[in-house]
Amino acid sequence: MKPNFELQWVITEHYEGLSIKEFLKEKEISRIALTDIKFKGGKILVNNTEVTVRYVLKKDDTIKVVFPPENPSEGVIGEQIKLDILFEDPFILVVNKPAGMSTIPSREHPKGSLANALVGYYEKIGIRATSHIVTRLDRDTSGIVLIAKHRHVHHLFSKQQQNGHVKRTYEAFAEGSLKLEFGFIEEPIGRRPDSIIEREVRNDGQYACTAYKVLNRYKEFTHVELELKTGRTHQIRVHMSFIGHPLLGDDLYGGNILLIKRQALHCKKIHFLHPFTGMEMNFTAPLPLDMKEIVKAAL
């Protein structure tokens, strides 16, 4: 088993004179995380000596924060499911999720989810962590998913999401022919009152904005690229259905299932800033085989 998740810094003149509590606040370590460190098995070390958050930092001090061990999610059984890993480092995972795999277990699908696969993968490589999935996809949507390998990393990504620094681009096949080559769909989305699952455009819903661009036109559908400006549940599917162009295969929102049996939607690109280096990170995943075959047949 690998050691607990930890972070380390060497103190520069800029931080000299701050208490550890003030310093860690600047590093966006939450009060909840500090409480866990204090009471659940973590520790704070300065020059390899354990200290409290009241310690006043001096130039060239080496501060190490050791987080308490995480327990895998209750009820999520680790499974040895092969992951298509696009990138991995000590902090994050970027994977290409196939259609038909749930992001997290549900009553209908308690096994075989991405979360099950992650717990199994962590067990295999000796990481004691739960599944912190930053960007979720619907069960039948394929493509890129961003995962944090620790609770604190997830916290940092949540801040990025709030500031619009995590950006996802999708490809989809929409029924019919869109009139415009590009545009925005700005319509509020809320839950349908008679359904647990379905969403709809409604006046009392949450603000939602989807940008789209036509990539190609075929006899029965339009190949579009879409970017989420907000992150509402089923946003692309609801917005495309609302403008009269439901996604192929999306029978929940009026799509035809003759060409494909799941919504023809794929998260092809993700952009974010690495939570510790600040570097811009970009990853892409090609269209899956079932969507490629539809294009091939339409030519």
Candidate list 36, 60, 89, 138, residue with the active-site label: 138
Residue 250 a catalytic site member: no
Cβ-based burial of 123 (10 A; exposed 0-12, middle 13-18, buried ≥19): middle
* Residue 71 confidence (pLDDT): 79
User: 168-267: which CATH topology?
Assistant: Pseudouridine synthase (3.30.2350)
Q: What is the pLDDT along the chain (299 residues), one digit of tens a residue?
A: 566 789 999 999 999 999 999 999 999 998 888 988 988 889 999 999 999 999 999 999 999 999 998 877 667 888 999 999 999 999 999 999 999 999 998 888 788 999 999 999 998 988 888 889 999 999 999 999 999 999 999 999 999 998 889 999 999 999 999 999 999 999 999 999 999 899 999 999 999 999 999 999 999 999 999 999 998 999 999 999 999 999 999 999 999 999 999 999 999 999 999 999 999 999 999 999 999 999 999 88
> What's the sign of the alpha-carbon dihedral 185, 190, 192, 198?
positive
**Architecture of domain 6-66 in CATH?**
Roll (3.10)
* Residue 75 confidence (pLDDT): 72
User: 71-163: which CATH topology?
Assistant: Pseudouridine synthase (3.30.2350)
Beta-bridge mates of residue 283:
270
265 contacts 141 by C-beta, under 8 angstroms: yes
**Cα 166 → chain centroid:** 9
Q: What pTM, to 2 d.p., does this model score?
A: 0.91
Q: What are the φ and ψ backbone dihedral angles of 94, each rounded to 5 degrees?
A: -125, 120
Structure tokens at 122: 């962590």
Q: d(Cα 227, Cα 205) in Å, to the nearest integer?
A: 20
* Structural domain spans, the chain: 6-66, 71-163, 168-267
Query: Is the fold of 71-163 the same as that of 168-267?
Result: yes
The stretches of 42-103 forming alpha helices (DSSP H) are none
